[in-house]
Amino acid sequence: MADVIKTATRDAYGKALVELGGINDKVVVLDADLAAATKTGMFKKAYPEKFFDCGIAEGNMMGVAAGLASTGYTVFAGTFAMFAAGRAFEQVRNSIAYPHLNVKIGATHAGISVGEDGASHQCCEDIALMRSIPGMTIINPADDVEARAAVLAAAEYEGPVYMRFGRLAVPRIFDEDYKFEWGKAVVLNEGTDVTICATGLMVNEAIEAQKLLADEGISAEIINVHTIKPLDAETILKSAEKTGAIVTAEEHSIIGGLGSAVAEAVCENGKAVPVVKLGVNDVFGKSGPAVELLHIYGLDAQNIVEKAKKAVSMK
């Protein structure tokens, strides 16, 4: 068996920016003194004249991004998710989203898997914050192939985009010829007993959970929800009608993220199916090795299995 390729989605972000720099003269990149960590340093090395380090002043960086976008540039502004969604929320809302400017926020180091940086940097609230902003699109890719495709697609999209990338290297799921469809969830495995909607690094865990569930005679349909806003409710609801139960899995708080979006869609469309959410249970993170933290907080395949069994029992 060939070795599994593991790459952090933040690495794909940096490489995709370099790729864009060679084909789109209107692309400029901003960072907030974290170019090495966010991987925007790759773009800086290739196109120094189109890269601007705004220093440790994330709110100001979003204002600069808005100004550049208002003059016709496609702006990628990168920093950690905690600072992009949290510290700079007001500027993102008022300066970028309100005038619907062409700014793409590259939010790296999202979720518990930031690891040793601890609770102050482990942003598990960013999707909820960005979902609350009118007109904001949210993308959370599952692997490096999808991350690259998402960055390229974001450059072509008119309006603000929040892209969520991770620090931890994750297994590659998709082939190089994978085609990213804007706002379209991807059914990775068809099933009849339970639908598992996963996003980001939890997609790989859902795939592993599907195998474990199959051993127990439970057929799981796996959906990769790479675009959380706007949500592809049609695909999810169609699956729910078939399986009769839903589990959501995300490296984010159970409040306001994918689970909330799916539950809202189910309720609004009058579907009487249970929705069981797996995520960070309304607590802060803590410092530790990333993989260990994922297990501590229950963000793994085995916990998806348990949630799936619960959802099936509720039908």
10 Å Cβ neighbour count for 3? 5
Closest CA to 206 of 195, 218, 215: 195
Residues 6 or more apart whose Cβ sits within 8 Å of residue 12: 141, 144, 145, 147, 148, 151, 165
Supply the residues annotated as catalytic: 58
For residues 195 and 307, what is the distance between their CA atoms, to the nearest angstrom?
Answer: 11
Contact present, 207 and 189 (Cβ < 8 Å)? yes
